Amino acid sequence: MPKKFQWIDSFRGIAALVVVIFHYHHFYLSDNRKRGEIPSVETFPFAQILEPVYIYGHWAVELFWAISGFVFYHVYLKRKAGILEFVSFRVARLYPLHVATLVFVALLQYVSMQTVGHWQVYGNNDSFHFVLQLLLATNWSSVSHGLSYNGPIWSVSLEVAAYAMFFISLTAIRHSPILISVALVFATWILAAGYPSGTFYLSASIFQCACYFFCGGLTYCLSAITYNRPARFDGLSVTLLILLALIAVINIEGIAGYLACMGIVYFAALLEKHFKHCPKSLLQLGDLSFSVYLVHVPLQITLLLIMDLAFNGDRSFANSIFTLPIYITVTILAASATYKYYELPARKLVRNAFDKFSFPLLNASDSKQS
């Protein structure tokens, strides 16, 4: 198995770009409450090519979750990591950019409400939902009234819960990866399908996310078995993947959605085996995936607020064929600058802070043992 699955990371970048395009409909919103005024996607720019993305692009989020499961299994099945190290890497990876975009959007929404009298894109921008966002607990429970502030963070908050389930289960997974992973997939699928809404104030979405996560982990286990096998096994795998794709196209809902994500992740792992060199542009997009995912909505809110203040709320710009490519280009450029000048340095600072914090704990533990 390779040290790093470059194609898997690249697919994460592609998924982030799919979400960016899927959210193009935000440009038609004159008010966060007027989603009924959004025109048919058939009228969107380049709809002849991108209509499936405009309609089904939200499935890229589920693919995110499955890819995360694959990557976590690859990193942690053979790596001994304590809870402090595990948490420090997750906090350093997620929190700096999340907090920065949250504060930025909160300021934009405040300006929007004070000047034009309505929120942009998402509502529920009150102090309670700000705290939920700050704690990365958005959509964890029935106490949340819906998306707020930088809305896409909802999927990351659910993924944090999946991380916790993974770490708690890690010892058992190491002991019997396939068996325990199948059990976790089955258990979380049952909970996601039948969990009573509002029970214990938890959301069934937590278990849905976890199911996709463990499906990705199970895909890693299967890939580990077949990775060093002869090429004829890959031919059989591709045949099965084609059948799986057909099933997903016919009925993407329910079980087919989980299987489709597993198939895409497994296909990316096959590319790693047969094409060692992933295009540099895709690698860079993979590195930028989290930045792309979190900065595109703040950019949209900024533009919509400018249109409200300077052009009396005009939204005709969304019909232009130039808006989509400019939107994608600006998002990638902003994500690239954010990644280089903020995200990476902030990760390092957080990791260093955790390292300094861990030494007294380790020393105290050593003194007790002695």
Using alpha carbons only, what angle is made at residue 220 by residues 225 and 91, rounded to the nearest 5 degrees?
A: 150
Summarize the confidence of residues 278-307 as an average pLDDT: 95
> Which amino acid is it at 198?
G
| Mean pLDDT confidence for 247-269 | 77
Q: Give the range of the structural domain holding residue 71, as residue numbers without chain letter.
A: 6-358
In the chain, which residue ranges form alpha helices assigned H by DSSP?
6-22, 47-56, 59-76, 83-115, 127-134, 153-175, 177-194, 204-226, 231-250, 255-274, 280-287, 289-311, 323-338, 344-369
CA atoms within 13 A on the CB side of 73: 29
Asked if the structure places residue 365 within a domain, the reply is: no
- Identify whether the C-beta of residue 305 lies closer than 8 Å to the C-beta of residue 120: yes
> What's residue 353's pLDDT?
86
Quick one: which of 319, 360, 363 has its CA closest to 38? 319
Reported as a single tens digit per residue, the pLDDT across 52-94 is: 999 999 989 999 999 999 999 999 998 887 888 888 899 999 9
Q: What is the tally of structural domains in the chain? A: 1
- DSSP letter, residue 154: H
All residues at 6 or more sequence positions from 59 whose CB lies less than 8 Å from its CB, including other chains = 252, 257, 260, 261
Measured between alpha carbons, how far is residue 278 from residues 108, 275, 292 in Å?
38, 7, 20
Sequence-distant (6+) residues with CB within 8 A of 267 are 238, 241
Across residues 191-210, what is the average pLDDT?
A: 78
Neighbours of 301 (CB within 10 A): 25
145 within a domain of the structure (yes/no)? yes
Cα gap 102→132, rounded to integer Å: 11
* Residue 141 counted as domain residue: yes
Mean pLDDT for all residues in the chain: 87
What does the DSSP assignment read for 182-212? HHHHHHHHHHHHHPPTTGGG--HHHHHHHHH
Residue 245 resides in a domain: yes
Residues 6+ apart with CB under 8 A from 47: 41, 54
| % of the chain at pLDDT higher than 90 | 61
Question: Do residues 252 and 260 touch, judged by C-beta distance below 8 A?
Answer: yes
Length of the chain: 370
Q: Do residues 84 and 32 lie in contact, with contact meaning Cβ atoms separated by under 8 Å?
A: no
Q: Which of 159, 9, 161 has its CA nearest to residue 75?
A: 9
Q: Where does the pLDDT of residue 291 fall: very low under 50, low under 70, confident under 90, or very high at 90 and above?
A: very high
Cα–Cα distance list, 229 to 3, 216, 244, 273 (Å):
18, 20, 21, 10
Tell me which H or E stretch contains 303.
helix 289-311
8 A C-beta contact, residue 201 and residue 142: yes
Contact 307, 27 (CB under 8 A): no
At residue 361 the predicted structure's pLDDT band, cuts being 50, 70 and 90, is very low
d(CA 46, CA 60): 20
Tell me what pLDDT residue 366 has: 38
Q: What tokens appear for 116 in the block? A: 């034009």
pLDDT tier, 98 (very low <50, low <70, confident <90, very high otherwise): very high
Who's near 245: CB < 8 A, 6+ residues apart? 260, 263
170, part of any domain: yes
